[in-house]
Amino acid sequence: MKIYDIPGFPNPLRIRIVLAEKRLTSEVEFVKVDLPAAEHKQPAFLAINPTGTVPVLQLDDGTFISECTAITEYLDNLDGKPVLTGANPKQKAIIHMMQKRAESELIDAIGFYFHHSTPGLGDTLRHYKYPDWSGRAEWGNLQREKAVAGMHYFNSVLGSRPFIAGESFSMADITVWAGLLFAGFAGIALPAECTDLSSWHARISDHPSVKSPA
């Protein structure tokens, strides 16, 4: 298998944590994609993923799978013993629900803020991220507010359970953790009053696959 990504970026890191959790890192060849140079927006890359995003998983038979949730589902179920995506219908439903919220209310909102209201990754990539319209920074700042609200939401969730989707570590935890990492990089501080989220973050940061991903 191959993974097309770039080390250290939030979404690629999510899959590297999954690989570590499932002990699959040694079975994957990593192919670096130059995001600041917008390599992922060029025809050669768009031929394998028309949405122009990383990571992308390439199977040995040539199949390409993009989107973190889809890649995680595939990797987690390879051995028939899913630990990150749910082992029964109820677990799967709750994990997928929280995964969607982690993406829409946190990591995606941070991404919109980062690319619209800050210099982002530079001029080359900026051309592909937004049209030249005057309200982009204001819209990006609204996304920042959405991300902070998302932090408060997940703080409330963690007031009654140890993990984002219930009693065990799941892909939703990975996504929220990566979202907070991205927030720090983008200059969005975790609100001081989000003590449950802060405690959870410290605990997840020490989880073996998070602490030492690929």
Question: Does residue 95 share a domain with residue 35?
Answer: no
User: Residues 114, 26: one domain?
Assistant: no
In the Cβ-directed half-sphere of 92, how many Cα atoms lie within 13 Å?
A: 8
* Domain range for 97: 89-211
Regarding whether 115 and 46 lie in a shared domain, the answer is no
Amino acid, res. 102: A
Residue among 202, 160, 213, 176 at smallest CA distance from 95: 176
CA distance 188 to 180: 9
| 10-residue mean pLDDT series, the chain (214 residues) | 95 97 97 90 95 96 97 98 97 98 96 76 58 66 92 98 97 98 95 98 97 85
* 159 plus 194 within the same structural domain: yes
Residues 27, 94 within the same domain? no
pLDDT of 132: 58
Last residue of a domain, one of 56, 77, 98: 77
Given 77, 105, 131, the domain boundary residue is: 77
Q: What is the 3-state secondary structure (H, E, C) of the chain?
A: CEEEECCCCHHHHHHHHHHHHCCCHHHCEEEECCCCCCHHHCHHHHCCCCCCCCCEEECCCCCEEECHHHHHHHHHHCCCCCCCCCCCHHHHHHHHHHHHHHHHHHHHHHHHHHHHHCCCCCHHHHHHHCCCCCCHHHHHHHHHHHHHHHHHHHHHHCCCCCECCECCCCHHHHHHHHHHHHHHHHCCCCCCCCHHHHHHHHHHHCCHHHHCCC
Please tell me whether residues 33 and 95 are part of one structural domain: no
Q: What is the pLDDT of residue 139?
A: 73
CA nearest neighbour of 155 among 125, 190, 181: 190
- Per the listing, tokens 């449950």 go with 196
The answer to whether the CB of 59 falls within 8 A of the CB of 33 is: no
Shared-domain flag, residues 6 and 48: yes
Q: Is residue 142 a contact partner of residue 149, using CB atoms and an 8 Å limit?
A: no
For the chain, how many structural domains are there in total? 2
Q: Of 77, 102, 120, at which residue does a domain stop?
A: 77
Q: Tell me the CATH number at 134.
A: 1.20.1050.10
With respect to residue 195, please indicate whether it lies within any of the assigned structural domains: yes
CATH number reported for the structural domain that contains residue 9 in this entry? 3.40.30.10
